[in-house]
Amino acid sequence: MRSSVDLPVSLSRDSDVPLTTQLSDWLRAAMRAGTLPAGERLPSSRGLARQLGVSRTVVTEAYQQLYAEGWLDGRHGSGTFVTDLTVQPREAPPEPVRQAPARPPARRGPARQLINLTPGEPWVHDYDNAAWKRAWRKAAELPPGNDPDPHGLPHLRELLAAHLRRARAVPAGAENILVTRGTGNGLDLVALALLGHGTRAGVEEPGYRVARNVFAARGAEVVPCPVDEDGVIVEELPDDLDVLYTTPAHQYPLGGRLPIPRRERLLAWADRTGALIVEDDYDAEFRYDVAPLPALYGLDPSRVVLLGTLSKTLAPDVGVGWLVGSPGLVDAIARRRDDVSDRTSGPVQQAVVNLLDRGDLERHLRRMRLEYARRRAAVVEILGPVCRLRGDTAGLHVLAELPGEAVPKIVDMARDRGVCLDSVERYHYGRPRVHGLVIGYGSASLADVRRGCRIVAELVTELGVAGPDVAGPDVAGPGVTTGPGAAS
């Protein structure tokens, strides 16, 4: 393996500029100038700290900042390297072939791999392979069971409760936890226990289509509930809902974070009407430049059921999530679950136990926070100048607002150029009120996110739909801090 380069860095303790900022500025300038070329291996944080006579924290924070901006690439077990940010020129697209709309566009030469910028999918290619294999080997040592507890494995419930207390300050014990197969399964179990013909279930508009489908399948009347840039509008909620489904951590798909005053008004509404709030903690693990907001469940456990999943943290294929509620409600849902023989795989639960027990899951989450921060920074850097962006302070997607008539054209043209996009119109229950693209940056590599966003920016410019003042107040470029109260 090639040894790391010696860095002739000189830091001044007499300067008003913090040491971490001095170091990150020097490294950034060296990479721009080519002094540190793409692929160059940097010294370890401990080694550079020793060389410079500073604490390791100074170097670690500088590396993390540059990693988030996309300048550095951390390879698991191999070190820290300068990222290759060279952009290959895009070939001119082939002349379109006129076909019936139902057929895919004709391709010339080898089939291209589409860059997927649709929301809802995480990056599943960067995990600790040794930890993953170890977790499954240990799970396989246990014999299969024949009497599964509908609540889930007791030890997993304890570990999940501890994880939620640390990560989300949720006051939960094992008695508050029911292990599900994911958010959709949790929604269905709530609907099974609480809804049916003659009940009314509120769902955000625009919002998560699976929630609408699940509630309707269980016989409830689905009631669209309007949202704005901050989340659900409490003043427009009807008083006769039995259940309200909401995504306050990062509204899907507009991206708002429900402010504290509105959270308190929402809980007061639930207390007055007797409705149960189903809180989908969607994307709560990933936030950028903003302070965390408390879960609704933590503010009033008697009025809220909290749903979470490992599908974004680890991978959708794992099929493990959780439902958090009062012990009486959790027991009632578990009984109904047992009635329909619904269960979460025991061996899968045991593998998650092993990942949590050793801290492997939390280490993976920390790595992915940095990885997604880099991609988010790239999206804002490239699309911020041409689109008004919403929801870039958290999660794995942003909304790029555009005129309604331009959206389907851009979706079609982008696909011809190798980029798969999604429009916000598809998330409306009725007539669309918001128009634009829901740009997901979870499942594509950083290089593909950059390439895909550049193509989108080119199309917006070609169609002349970019306004003169498009940078919204919640848009921050790479490394720019909007402040802890920005979304509160």
Task: Look at residue 77 in the predicted model and tell me its pLDDT.
Answer: 55
Task: Look at residue 467 in the predicted model and tell me its pLDDT.
Answer: 43
On whether residue 109 sits in a domain, the answer given is no
Same domain, 68 and 150: no
**Could you report the per-residue pLDDT of 159-207, keeping only the tens digit for each?**
999 999 888 888 899 999 999 999 999 999 999 999 999 999 999 999 9
On whether residue 190 sits in a domain, the answer given is yes
Same domain, 41 and 134: no
Q: How far apart are CA 400 and CA 387, in angstroms?
A: 6
On whether residue 439 sits in a domain, the answer given is no
Same domain, 183 and 329: yes
- pLDDT above 50 for 473: no
Same domain, 41 and 139: no
Domain end position, chosen among 305, 332, 361: 361
Domain CATH code at residue 48:
1.10.10.10
Same domain, 75 and 136: no
Same domain, 315 and 220: yes
Query: Is there a contact between 367 and 441 (Cβ–Cβ < 8 Å)?
Result: no
Task: Identify the weakest region by mean pLDDT among 1-10, 61-70, 169-178, 211-220.
Answer: 1-10
Same domain, 57 and 205: no
Domain CATH code at residue 356:
3.40.640.10
Task: Look at residue 470 in the predicted model and tell me its pLDDT.
Answer: 54
Task: Look at residue 85 in the predicted model and tell me its pLDDT.
Answer: 54
Task: Look at residue 465 in the predicted model and tell me its pLDDT.
Answer: 84
On whether residue 454 sits in a domain, the answer given is no
Domain end position, chosen among 361, 385, 404: 361
- pLDDT above 60 for 60: yes
- pLDDT above 90 for 216: yes
Alpha helices in 4-90 (DSSP H): 19-33, 45-52, 56-69
Q: Are strands 221-228 and 436-440 parallel, antiparallel or unpaired?
A: unpaired
Task: Look at residue 88 in the predicted model and tell me its pLDDT.
Answer: 38
The pTM (predicted TM-score) of the whole model is 0.73
The token pair at 153 is: 């494995």
On whether residue 390 sits in a domain, the answer given is no
Task: Identify the weakest region by mean pLDDT among 70-84, 117-131, 132-146, 251-265.
Answer: 70-84
Same domain, 151 and 286: yes
Domain end position, chosen among 63, 82, 101: 82
**Edge-to-edge order in the sheet of strand 221-228:** 177-180, 321-324, 304-309, 276-280, 243-246, 200-205, 221-228, 231-232
**Could you report the per-residue pLDDT of 371-396, keeping only the tens digit for each?**
899 999 999 999 999 999 998 888 89
How confident is residue 414, by pLDDT bands cut at 50, 70 and 90?
Answer: very high
Cα 149 to chain centroid distance, Å, stands at 30
**Could you report the per-residue pLDDT of 291-338, keeping only the tens digit for each?**
778 899 999 999 999 999 988 888 888 899 999 999 999 999 999 999
* DSSP conformation letters of 244-276: EEE--SS-TTT-----HHHHHHHHHHHHHH-PE
> Mean pLDDT of all residues in the chain?
84
Beta partners for 488? none
Task: Identify the weakest region by mean pLDDT among 56-70, 290-304, 384-398, 421-435.
Answer: 56-70
Phi, psi of 81 (to 5 degrees): -130, 155
Task: Identify the weakest region by mean pLDDT among 125-129, 246-250, 362-366.
Answer: 125-129
Q: How far apart are CA 453 and CA 465, in angstroms?
A: 16
On whether residue 192 sits in a domain, the answer given is yes
Highest mean pLDDT: which range of 3-17, 76-90, 386-400: 386-400
Task: Look at residue 78 in the predicted model and tell me its pLDDT.
Answer: 65
Task: Look at residue 419 in the predicted model and tell me its pLDDT.
Answer: 95
Burial (CB count <10 Å: 0-12, 13-18, 19+), residue 273: middle
Over residues 19-38, mean pLDDT = 84
Range of the domain at 133: 129-361
Q: What percent of the chain has pLDDT over 90?
A: 53
Highest mean pLDDT: which range of 65-74, 93-102, 290-299, 391-400: 391-400
Same domain, 196 and 272: yes
Over residues 196-222, mean pLDDT = 95
How confident is residue 456, by pLDDT bands cut at 50, 70 and 90?
Answer: very high
Same domain, 65 and 144: no
Query: Is there a contact between 392 and 476 (Cβ–Cβ < 8 Å)?
Result: yes
- Per the structure, how many domains does the chain have? 2
On whether residue 469 sits in a domain, the answer given is no
Task: Identify the weakest region by mean pLDDT among 130-134, 189-193, 346-350.
Answer: 130-134
On whether residue 287 sits in a domain, the answer given is yes
Same domain, 69 and 201: no
Same domain, 25 and 156: no
